[in-house]
Every structure is written in structure tokens, then in C-alpha cells.
């Protein structure tokens, strides 16, 4: 199969291609992001009827395990694997689209016109499982046995479970004081080696990237969403929404934006569905950021930066990041899952916004928490970051950009139980502290205790903590 799939640099002036079973974090020639591309003409044609049939038969066919998965049910739309045995699946993506009839009028939509896509119903409680199943499949294809990520929480929870289930070693980087307990508890319970460095998400991501490039002797495979295979799996969120709507696209898809992998994946999903003539109308995309972590909002909405056929204004991005450095601005929001200042998928997000005629808005923490409470009151609940989508829907309705008659789907990215501290504080005023290095603690005594390992924010120390030899660090040419 995968002779018909390859990797390609998204920079239109480069477009270098690479075999599907090579491992790159970014284009080795120009440093741009990579896409997974398919030669659709030489592949079995994806058809809605096939997917629907798999759903209804619940996997009685030969490929029951794959048909059960809400990602691999759509495997003809992400055919990068060589054979079915390589697919790592834990039954992800069985999520549902709820008609939020009681919530709709509260935010200004007609009942029946607001649907909530509950990705918190995934095995580890967030949409990240959709992407991990695909990236682990690639990791297995290339024979990786150690996988790592930096995380605001949900990526590490998902990585830890998939690593555990597939017999790989999971390594997770968390910053200090920056992770919701629900998420940390998962990484520890699933046995990931959890390194806690003093720094924020952006610092963690920088270190884990260094680990994969400068300490190749450790053989660590990178699982952050800069990995294009993750986005392949996340496309399936769009397929499931379409399936639930009898393959009719809504007017709007609204999603919170952090590292911008999800919105990028949605854009790619629709670009391919259009190319395959499986859909004739493209929904509009709204990406909602937290006010305290709003680089895309600043660049796209305030400064007018556009994809521009791939020739987007990189200087504008550098200027913004230099301003952050100069003013010591760090991402800060109660919605910890989107507390990211330098999103790696920025170019792909611009591309998605271009293709889906998108808008970007920001909402403050108080508004996020109010809308989280609304989703709880009228639905199944969600974690703070997820509620940014509903808050954004209301804002766009108030602005008149969304009309009360429009069909709107908000992506609820994570489960209500992920961040109980935020919920308890909202409802009671009691401030339960999230993990703090300085908080008092006693030594854990359980036989399987797997406490986070505090490590200095330093590559040599990190390599030592992972059992490597820091003398072998490779110095990169700039
Ligand atoms: C990861 C995450 C996000 C942000 O998604 P990106 O793809 O990084 O933009 C939003 N909400 C939740 C709950 C998440 O776990
Ligand atoms: Zn390139």
C-alpha cells in the first residue's frame, strides 16, 4: 500500500519528497513541516458506503479490530501503512456528535443547529488518541521502541497508554506546575518515564526535539504534533462528524487552538475530500484561542498574516516571538491544554484557514470557564480548553459572523474529568493546587509507584536521566 504514500515538504519552493518509512521531524532541506501525501489514483477508492457498512456491522468482517476503531474504519483515507498488522489500535475514536438542543438557544443558535463532538470519549479522554494511533502505527513501521513527547497533559496521557499497549518505552516531558492532575495521573499510571523540568510547554518541546536530533544514539521517536502522522489520524474527527450527518457538511467547525495540529488536520481532511470528490461544500473553520495564549489570533486576525499559497510572512512570526522574548511574555491560561506560545503547526493552520475560509478569535479565561459550566449543565461536560470552542461560537454569533440558522459543530477536545481542580474551583472557590515541585510530599511507598523525575532544564542532564551518555551529544550546525 505505502508505495502509494510518501512524505512531502509543505514549502512550495521546496516540495522535497521522502519515503513513507523515513523518520523526519521537519524537512531536512528547508526545515518546513512535512505532509503525508497519497497517490489516490493508484489506491482503492474511498467510499462513504464502505465506512457506513463497517460501522453497522461493528466489525464482524475480517478486520474487526480495525472496523471497531473510529479512525481505522476510514483507513482508505489514511493509507500510509504497508499492511494491517502494523496498525496500532486501542479502540480509539468511538466518539459521538450530540445535538445540544438545550445549549443552542443559550448561546444564540436555533435548537437543532448546535452539535457537540465529544472527543473526550476516547480511551484516554481526549482527541489525542485519534492522532496517537496513527503515529504509533508509523513508529511500529520504522521499528521504534522509545517514543517521547512534550505535553501540556493530554498528549502524554495518550502516548503513555499507547506505549504501554504496544510494548514501547514512553517518555514524557512535563513543565513544572503546568499540568492538570487528571492528565498527569494517567501518564504515571500507564508507566511512562516522566521527566519534569523547570520550564513551560515551549521549553519542554524544545528539549524533546533536541533529544531526537542531537542524541540519536537514544533512538527516540518524536510524538508531538509536528509529527505529520498524528494529523493523519486526527482527520478522522471530521469523517465521523460527516458520517453522523449523513455526509452533509455543517456550516461551521469550531475548535480550540493550541499547537494547532487539530485545525491543521481538519483542513487537510477537507482538502483531500474535495480532491476525491467525496464532498462538494467545505464548512468554514473557526479556531479559538485563549487570550493568554493567542499567537495565531495576533498573527491572523490582528496582523493579517495569510497562507498566501505557502509564501506566508515568516518575518511577522519572528517579530511576534521576539516581542514575547523582549517582554518576557509566556503563555498563560486556565485552559492548560492550549497554553502554548509558539505553535509548531502555525503554517499548516494558516493553510487550513485559507482552504476553509476561516476565522480566528480569542476568549478570556472567565468566558472559557462560564462556557465550560454551560457544557456541563446542558451536556456531558468537558475540560476548560474544549469550552473555548463554545465560547467562540457565541462570540461569532454576537458579531453576526455566524447566523442563528447556521449549522454549527463545536469540537469538545477533552473529557470533563481531566481537570477537576478547575471545575471544583469554579463551583466552590476552593483552589486545589495542581502539581507543584515545591508542594510538600512524602516518598511514595506503592510497589508500582512511578513518580515524575525532576531534571534540570538541560540537555546533558536529560540524556543522563534517560540512561544515555551526554558525551555523545551532537552539536548541530546552524
Ligand atoms: C491538545 C489539546 C488542544 C489543542 O489542540 P492543538 O492540536 O494543539 O491545537 C485542545 N484541547 C485539548 C483538550 C487538548 O488536549
Ligand atoms: Zn523543504
252: domain CATH number? 3.40.50.1100
Does the CB atom of residue 452 touch ligand 1 within 6 A? no
Q: What is the mean pLDDT of residues 395-401?
A: 98
Share of the chain above pLDDT 90, in %: 79
Does the CB atom of residue 234 touch ligand 1 within 6 A? no
Do 253 and 383 sit in the same domain of this protein?
yes
Do 402 and 461 sit in the same domain of this protein?
no
Do 265 and 391 sit in the same domain of this protein?
yes
Atom from ligand 1 closest to the CA of residue 154:
15
The listed range with the strongest mean pLDDT (194-198, 393-397, 466-470) is 393-397
Residue where a domain terminates, one of 402, 421, 440: 421
Segment 180-227, tens digit of pLDDT: 888 999 999 999 999 999 888 889 999 999 999 899 889 999 999 899
Inside any domain, residue 137: no
Q: What is the mean pLDDT of residues 274-289?
A: 96
Q: What is the mean pLDDT of residues 448-466?
A: 91
Inside any domain, residue 2: no
Q: What is the mean pLDDT of residues 429-443?
A: 66
Q: Tell me how far apart the alpha carbons of residues 353 and 359 are, in angstroms, rounded to a whole number.
A: 7
Q: What pLDDT is attached to residue 3?
A: 76
Atom from ligand 1 closest to the CA of residue 413:
13
- Predicted confidence (pLDDT) at residue 414 exceeds the cutoff of 80: yes
Does the CB atom of residue 227 touch ligand 1 within 6 A? no
Q: What pLDDT is attached to residue 180?
A: 83
Do 416 and 462 sit in the same domain of this protein?
no
Q: How far is the CA of 210 from the centre of ligand 2 (A)?
A: 19
pTM: 0.95
Does the CB atom of residue 146 touch ligand 1 within 6 A? no
Q: What pLDDT is attached to residue 1?
A: 47
- Mean pLDDT is lowest, of 67-81, 188-202, 303-317, for 188-202
Confidence band of 60 (pLDDT split at 50, 70, 90): low
- Predicted confidence (pLDDT) at residue 306 exceeds the cutoff of 60: yes
Q: How far is the CA of 185 from the centre of ligand 1 (A)?
A: 18
Inside any domain, residue 316: yes
Q: What is the mean pLDDT of residues 321-340?
A: 95
Inside any domain, residue 303: yes
Per-residue cell: 180:
492538570
Does the CB atom of residue 113 touch ligand 1 within 6 A? no
Please name the residue whose Cα sits nearest to atom 13 of ligand 1: 414
Atom from ligand 1 closest to the CA of residue 265:
7
- Predicted confidence (pLDDT) at residue 436 exceeds the cutoff of 60: no
Segment 107-118, tens digit of pLDDT: 999 999 999 999
Do 270 and 381 sit in the same domain of this protein?
yes
Q: Which of 129, 237, 297, 414 to mutate to test the pocket of ligand 1 (most atoms within 8 A of CB)?
A: 414
Inside any domain, residue 193: no
Q: What pLDDT is attached to residue 262?
A: 98
Containing structural domain, residue 457: 452-478
Segment 236-274, tens digit of pLDDT: 999 999 999 999 999 999 999 999 999 999 999 999 999
Amino acid at each position: 500500500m505505502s508505495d502509494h504514500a510518501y512524505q512531502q515538504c509543505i514549502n512550495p519552493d521546496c516540495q522535497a519528497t521522502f519515503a513513507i518509512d523515513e523518520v523526519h521531524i521537519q524537512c531536512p532541506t528547508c526545515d518546513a513541516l512535512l505532509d503525508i501525501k497519497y497517490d489516490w489514483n493508484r489506491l482503492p477508492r474511498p467510499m462513504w458506503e464502505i465506512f457506513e457498512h463497517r460501522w453497522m456491522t461493528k466489525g464482524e468482517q475480517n478486520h474487526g479490530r480495525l472496523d471497531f476503531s473510529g479512525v481505522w474504519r476510514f483507513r482508505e483515507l489514511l493509507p500510509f501503512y504497508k499492511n494491517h498488522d502494523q496498525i496500532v489500535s486501542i479502540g480509539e475514536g468511538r466518539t459521538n456528535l450530540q445535538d445540544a438542543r438545550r445549549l443552542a438557544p443559550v448561546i444564540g443558535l436555533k435548537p437543532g443547529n448546535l452539535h457537540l463532538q465529544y472527543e473526550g470519549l476516547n480511551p484516554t479522554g481526549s482527541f489525542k488518541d485519534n492522532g496517537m494511533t496513527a503515529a504509533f502505527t508509523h513508529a511500529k513501521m520504522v521499528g521504534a521502541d522509545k517514543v517521547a513527547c512534550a505535553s501540556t497533559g493530554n498528549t502524554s496521557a495518550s502516548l503513555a497508554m499507547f506505549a504501554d499497549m504496544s510494548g514501547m518505552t514512553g517518555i514524557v516531558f512535563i513543565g513544572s506546575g503546568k499540568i492538570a492532575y487528571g492528565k498527569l495521573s494517567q501518564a504515571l499510571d500507564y508507566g511512562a518515564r516522566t521527566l519534569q523540568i523547570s520550564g513551560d510547554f515551549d521549553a519542554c518541546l524544545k528539549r524533546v526535539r533536541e533529544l531526537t536530533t542531537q542524541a540519536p544514539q537514544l533512538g527516540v521517536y518524536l510524538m508531538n504534533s509536528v509529527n505529520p502522522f498524528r494529523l493523519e489520524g486526527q482527520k478522522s474527527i471530521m469523517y465521523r462528524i460527516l458520517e453522523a450527518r449523513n455526509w452533509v457538511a455543517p456550516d461551521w467547525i469550531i475548535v480550540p487552538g493550541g499547537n494547532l495540529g487539530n485545525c491543521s488536520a481538519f483542513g487537510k481532511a477537507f482538502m483531500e475530500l474535495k480532491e476525491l470528490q467525496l464532498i462538494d461544500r467545505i464548512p468554514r473553520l473557526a479556531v479559538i484561542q485563549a487570550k493568554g495564549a493567542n499567537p495565531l489570533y495576533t498573527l491572523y486576525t490582528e496582523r493579517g498574516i495569510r497562507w498566501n499559497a505557502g509564501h506566508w510572512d515568516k518575518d511577522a512570526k519572528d517579530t511576534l516571538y521576539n516581542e514575547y522574548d523582549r517582554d518576557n511574555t509566556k503563555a498563560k491560561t486556565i485552559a492548560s491544554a492550549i497554553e502554548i506560545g509558539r505553535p509548531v503547526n502555525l503554517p499548516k493552520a494558516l493553510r487550513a484557514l485559507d482552504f476553509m475560509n476561516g476565522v480566528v478569535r480569542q476568549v478570556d479565561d472567565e468566558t472559557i470557564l462560564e462556557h465550560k459550566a454551560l457544557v456541563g449543565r446542558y451536556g456531558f461536560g468537558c475540560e476548560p480548553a474544549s469550552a473555548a470552542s463554545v465560547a467562540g461560537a457565541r462570540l461569532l454569533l454576537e458579531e453576526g459572523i455566524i447566523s442563528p440558522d447556521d449549522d454549527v459543530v463545536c469540537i469538545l477536545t477533552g473529557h470533563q474529568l481531566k481537570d477537576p481542580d478547575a471545575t471544583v474551583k469554579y463551583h466552590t472557590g476552593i483552589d486545589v493546587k495542581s502539581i507543584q515541585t515545591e508542594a510538600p510530599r512524602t516518598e511514595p511507598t506503592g510497589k508500582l509507584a512511578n513518580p515524575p523525575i525532576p531534571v534540570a532544564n538541560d540537555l546533558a542532564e536529560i540524556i543522563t536521566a534517560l540512561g544515555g551518555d551526554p558525551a555523545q551529544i551532537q552539536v548541530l550546525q546552524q
